[in-house]
Structure 1
Amino acid sequence: MAFTAGAAVGVLGGMIGLGGAEFRLPLLIMLGFAALQAVILNKALSLVVVLTALPARLGAVPLSALAPHGDVVANLLLGSLAGAWAGAFWATRMRSATLYRVLAVLLVAIAADLIGNHTGTLHHIALAPAVVVTAGVVAGFFIGVVAALMGVAGGELLIPTIVLLFGTDIKIAGSLSLAVSLPTMLVAFARYSRDGSFAVLRRHARLTGVLALGSITGTIGGGLLLGVIPDAVLVPGLAVLLALSSIKVWRHATTG
């Protein structure tokens, strides 16, 4: 069941070019994990998926194509690393009910972002270099916070940010987002490791492994199915799924 659930989530994410962590988080909560435990478990699984995606992504977009954009990665990391540490710190200090509500709101925000990214056309915004650097740090910080709070890689926020601020090609932006996500996730993971809830990974090591295998398999399968279902049908459907999941997560604030 865990493998099937992980694979299903991976397929959903893979069909829209994401890792599926946004869909995995509410699933973990519905499986009975407390909010912070679900976030930590989701972060661990997201880290595995990103590490798996990197080699595959390099086959399509080689390092030689990414090297000229190292300044973009550095700019965003200036904010995202601090944001990841702050987000993980706040998550470990929040009351469980508050964290459930924060996660519910963020799921709705991700649903809106999903629709916006797939129904509109991203265009580079021409700004002065100093403004771009400042905006990159600020955006990186908030993306780091959201990624840490939800246990996701943050690609759904990083990719449009890279395209809008830096005018990067969408395929290159996808690979650059992984380069930003990996160290950002490691920082959040390190902060979470200092909290008692981190023990959930040891207590459920077998389940984590099966979910990880299912997620990787599903993500690859979803990537192969990319384009089979028209975006006009797929994206609104997934957005509705996230919205419904947010309602269930919100209810945990009073019942869980």
Structure 2
Amino acid sequence: MPAGENWGQRVAWRRATLAFLSAIPIGWVGALIGLGGAEFRLPVLVGALGFPSRRAVPLNLAVSFLTLGIAFFVRGRVLPWAHLIPLWPMLGTLLLGSLSMAFWGAGWLPRVRQRHLERAILILLAALGLLLITEAFLPLAPPGGGLPTGVIRYGIAFLAGLGIGLVSSLLGVAGGELIIPTLVILFGVEVKLAGSASVLIGLPTVAIGLARHLRRGLISSQEGLQVILPMGLGTFLGAGLAGPVLGRIAPAALKVLLGLILLFSAWRVFHPHQVQTATSGEV
């Protein structure tokens, strides 16, 4: 076997191993707080695995799709989907906005300059980190409240969906950290129902962005074997390991810790010095 080919296989094996191992703790903590962990995968894809942001976002979407697919079957057994039928008018409006922006955002991604994309990612990840910390001290509003019914309610649902779709297309995430607070605080949805609804909204939102990236050839079969599949398996394993300790760790303390980790990792990977280095040759 030629030396170059042997070296390439070692690099591929190391990348797949790192992708798998890094996804286990991400899946573990994500399961503990009810998230897919995509916010934490993105710094790993760019930092540890060395993908440019334009390549990392589609890869993150692919792993998010696998994670949501598993969550769809798991949550369907715990909480029947029929419980969401009364919410469909509002959820459908939210989903329409989310799908619209996810479709257009996926088309914008290849046109955005690398340094601009990195700065946008830094801002969005920092905002999600701060949101995690805030939720630890300010519990979500009790169910039964929310906005009044009518045109205003559906208009706000559509605008919220646009924001969720934008974040999904730029970060490659399902948007659960935004969907659940939106449903509970603005629309008075019970938090467990909101968790299931976030899967239903996130799955097609991620799927439409992922489909556009696949059509553009932004994900190769090699990346699927080296990154997407190992990360998906690692996330599934990590989520399974969370079961024995679920309920033993204070959610508030965990959210503060994860929020701080997200802030640090976002700055460490996407701060201006890194952006300047990565794009020094860009016109």
TM bucket (normalised to shorter chain) is over 0.9
Q: Displacement, 1:60?
A: 1.4
Contact 2:135 2:255 in 1 (8 A): no
Could you tell me how far apart the structure 1 residues matched to 2:84 and 2:252 are? 31
The one-letter amino acid paired with 1:52 is: I
* Secondary structure of the structure 2 residue equivalent to 1:204: helix
CA distance in 2, matches of 1:97, 1:196: 22
Q: How far apart are 1:241 and its partner, in Å?
A: 0.7
Residue in 1 aligned with 2:117?
A: 99
- Matched with 2:15 is none
Distance 1:193 1:205 in 2: 11
CA distance in structure 2 between the aligned counterparts of 1:56 and 1:241, rounded to whole angstroms: 28
Q: Aligned residues: percent identity?
A: 38
Q: Distance in 1 between the 2:223 and 2:200 partners?
A: 29
- Aligned pair 1:235/2:252, yes or no? no
Does the CA-based 8 Å contact 1:11-1:218 persist in structure 2?
yes
Larger RCO, structure (CA 8 Å, separation 6 or more): 1
Match of 2:223 in 1: 204
Cα deviations across residues 167-221 of structure 1 (Å, max 9, x unaligned)? Answer: 111101110111111111111112222334333xx22222221111001111232
Give the residue type in structure 2 aligned to 1:83: M
Q: TM-score, normalised by structure 1?
A: 0.93
Q: 1:186 to 1:226 in 2, by over 3 A?
A: same
Q: Which residue of the partner structure matches residue 10 of structure 1?
A: 27
Residues 110-119 or 135-144, more deviating: 110-119
Q: Using the alignment, how far apart are the partners of 1:131 and 1:69 within structure 2?
A: 16
Say whether 1:173 aligns with 2:190. Answer: no
Summarize deviations over 1:210-242 as a string: whole Å, max 9, x none: 111001111232354333222342111111111
**Residues 40, 189 of structure 1: 8 Å contact kept:** yes
Residues 1-256 of structure 1: pairs in structure 2 closer than 5 A: 1-30=18-47, 31-123=49-141, 124-199=145-220, 202-207=221-226, 208-251=228-271, 252-256=274-278
In our comparison, the structure showing a higher alpha carbon Rg is: 2
* Counterpart Cα distance in 1 of 2:138 and 2:165: 24
Aligned AA for 2:122?
A
Q: Deviation at 1:128?
A: 4.5
Q: CA deviation at 1:97?
A: 1.5
Given that 1:101 and 1:249 are in contact with CA atoms closer than 8 Å, whether structure 2 keeps it comes out as: no
TM-aligned CA distance change 1:29 to 1:138, over 3 Å: same
Structure 1: 4+ residue segments shifted above 6 A? none
Deviations 1:67-92 (CA, angstroms, capped at 9, x unpaired): 22221220101210111012212222
**Pairwise CA distance, 1:62:** 0.4
TM-score scaled by length of structure 2: 0.85
Deviations 1:120-176 (A, max 9, x none): 122233335211100000000110110111011101100111112321111011101
Contact 1:92–1:195 (Cα < 8 Å) also in 2: no
Q: Is the 8 A contact 1:17 1:223 kept in 2?
A: no
Shift of 1:22: 0.6
CA shift for structure 1 position 98? 1.3
What code does the residue aligned with 2:53 have?
Answer: A
**Contact 1:77–1:184 (CA under 8 A) maintained in structure 2:** yes
Q: Distance in 2 between matches of 1:223 and 1:18?
A: 14
Superposition CA RMSD, Å:
1.6
d(CA) in 1 for partners of 2:245 and 2:109?
A: 35
Deviates more, 1:229-238 or 1:48-57: 229-238
Q: How many residues align?
A: 254
Q: CA deviation at 1:116?
A: 2.5
